[in-house]
Amino acid sequence: MNSNKKKNIALLIAAAFLFLALFDGWPYGFFTLLRFVVFASSAYVAWMAYEAQKEKWVWIFGSLAVLFNPFIIIHLDREIWSVIDLIVAVFMIISVFILKLKPHLTTHDSKG
């Protein structure tokens, strides 16, 4: 599976969790799982962007990984998180179409 498909799957799964978080009635455990999913997806895409030398995207997704990290939790009101969840979910879906990753070849990667 190529890197763009992997990136798209990670982003779409995270976006789905973020959209689901907008509905009421979820237990606290769902939000813990959401943090892990969005953190892991963002960190993975940041790493993929780093490998493809897309510095701007590394910073964006690295920042999202920090914001959603499940280890040092950033405590905000539910209303603020709802706005953040919506914005980040839409951004992740847009990123599926905008961010194109091509592996950067170094001298040791080339054959010959």
pTM of the model: 0.87
Whether residue 36 is contained in a domain is answered as: yes
Domain holding 54, by residue range, is: 3-98
Whether residue 42 is contained in a domain is answered as: yes
CA angle 57, 63, 64 (to 5 degrees): 90
User: How many domains are contained in the chain?
Assistant: 1
Whether residue 46 is contained in a domain is answered as: yes
Whether residue 81 is contained in a domain is answered as: yes
Mean model confidence pLDDT for the chain: 91
Q: Is 71 in contact with 36 (CB distance < 8 Å)?
A: no
Three-state DSSP at 80 gives: helix
Whether residue 43 is contained in a domain is answered as: yes
Q: Is 46 in contact with 22 (CB distance < 8 Å)?
A: no
Q: What is the pLDDT of residue 112?
A: 45
The whole-angstrom separation of Cα 40 and Cα 45 is 9
Q: How far is CA 31 from the centre of its chain?
A: 15
Give 82-95 pLDDT, tens digit per residue.
Answer: 999 999 999 999 99
Give 13-60 pLDDT, tens digit per residue.
Answer: 999 999 999 999 999 999 999 999 999 999 999 999 999 999 999 999
